[in-house]
Structure 1
Amino acid sequence: MNISFQIPDDDPVRLVKLLIERMDLSPLYQTYSRIEKNQASPRQLLAIVIYASMNQIFSSRRIESACRRDLNFQYLLEGKPVPDHATIARFRSHHMAACSRTLFADMDAVLAQAGALSLKNLFIDGTKIESVANKYTFVWKKSVTKRQAKVLAKIPGFILKTQELFGIQVLHTHAVHRYHLRRLLGKLKRLQREGHIVFVHGKGHRKTPLQKAIEKAKDFLHKTKEYAVQLHYCGDRNSYAKTDIDATFMHLKEDDHENGQGQA
């Protein structure tokens, strides 16, 4: 059944269909080893996914439901069977994601050629969205600075004690840096090699003072490097997310509707 006559000429779905038809979709098709003739093609799947995003539909199950009920989605499918949610999810994660940069760059070029998009100005979205984030996925600059200071305060005493215990020396000024720890660790490992000392692990084994010193030096090196990297990621910000380094966390005030203390 021809349903295109039921869709207004200025409906955005027509622009989506025209846009997809003008794009170079060879990178997308190259992600397939075989394409079923009686199923929705990669071009049609891309069209329904883009149109779904335009309408704030992101769930693969909701996209499947829209393809069954919505006239515009059926127009994009061009009479092909409705893809199930697994097919839609697989298309987005395995095929579309593999070439998304190339596809969307080509989409911008096609829109610019059609006069629907201007490339003269670049706008950055500054929207701030509250997320439900795990409390262990963020790093606070203030906390890292405190932990770093505690570790750095322990290192001079550790170096002095190690030098007295094993008769080695690492020259340093009042400030101790990571390369001092590396030099100390190198000398401790040389003592291990010269003494043919085998380190032990697990319960029931007693570690030698040399093994404890080497493990402690490695721990100091690991922590100082970790804190330095975290502070580098923070930069001028007060925090960042481990799962997205560019994301910054914010403290949000919640309205107290029960006590009438809500904030406008």
Structure 2
Amino acid sequence: FEDELYYVCHDGRELHHIRTEKKEQSGYTQTFEVYGCADCSGCGYKAKCLYKYNAEKDAEKNKVMKINEQWEVLKEESHANIQSEKGILNRQIRSIQTEGHFGDIKENDGFRRFNYRTAEKVYKEFMLYAIGRNINKYHRFLHDEIKKFEGKTEEKTA
């Protein structure tokens, strides 16, 4: 319920807004709204609701949940984009394109493992490989081994 800032749990109890928390990590700030139940005693869902609930030790524990509202908005927007007609088409195309390139790199070029182990060196090695691959592709394009894509053409079937 947005007007009164509270949620309702499975047992019908209200979780009211307690506080706002901020967490900073890697230069980004996350804002969490914390909601909690005043009394969860006698709740039938307590064992499912609370993380690592032990009836003997945690009898006095109450439900607390943190909501990052900005994250929820972005998640809904992303879900809407994925389920749109354009999103479905992009997913179909993306799944085909990516596999083809990695398969080509592995099978046709024989690139199966990196020579270096640190993340920085692996990144540099792969960038050099990608530059070489793009130069090779450009060379083939210049010598008309690769034609410019102009759309699918009609083919006659037998």
TM > 0.5? no
TM-score, with structure 2 as normaliser: 0.28
Structure showing greater radius of gyration is 1
Give the structure with the larger strand fraction: 2
Q: Which has the higher contact order (CA 8 A, sep 6+)?
A: 1
